[in-house]
Amino acid sequence: MSSLTSLPSATDVASAWVLLDALTDPEIPVVSLRELGILRDVRAGDAGLEVVITPTYSGCPAMGQIEDDVKALLQAHGLQGHVVTQLAPAWTTDWMSETAKDKLRAYGIAPPHACASSGTGAASVVQFAARGAKPEVVNCPQCGSANTTETSHFGSTACKALYRCLACMEPFDYFKPY
**For other proteins, which residue of 44, 52, 83, 162 counts as binding (CB under 8 A)?**
162
Question: Minimum distance between the CB of residue 178 and other proteins, rounded to whole angstroms?
Answer: 5
**For other proteins, which residue of 21, 65, 154, 167 counts as binding (CB under 8 A)?**
154
The phi-psi region of residue 22 (left if phi > 0; otherwise alpha if psi is between -120 and 50; otherwise beta) is alpha
Looking at residue 137, what DSSP letter applies? P
**For other proteins, which residue of 6, 11, 75, 151 counts as binding (CB under 8 A)?**
151
Stretch that binds other proteins, among 19-27, 28-36, 127-135, 165-173 (CB under 8 A): 127-135
Number of residues that bind other proteins (CB under 8 A): 30
**For other proteins, which residue of 109, 155, 172, 173 counts as binding (CB under 8 A)?**
155
Count the Cβ atoms, other than its own, within 10 Å of residue 130: 9
Q: How far is CA 79 from the centre of its chain?
A: 25
91 binds other proteins (CB under 8 A): yes
Stretch that binds other proteins, among 17-25, 42-50, 85-93, 106-114 (CB under 8 A): 85-93
* Helical residues (DSSP H) of 77-149, grouped into ranges: 98-107
Which residue, among 72, 73, 71, 62, has the nearest Cα to 25 in the 3D structure? 62
How far apart are alpha carbons 3 and 13 in whole angstroms? 14
**For other proteins, which residue of 16, 121, 163, 165 counts as binding (CB under 8 A)?**
121
The overall longest dimension of the chain from CA atoms, in Å, is 63
153 binds other proteins (CB under 8 A): yes
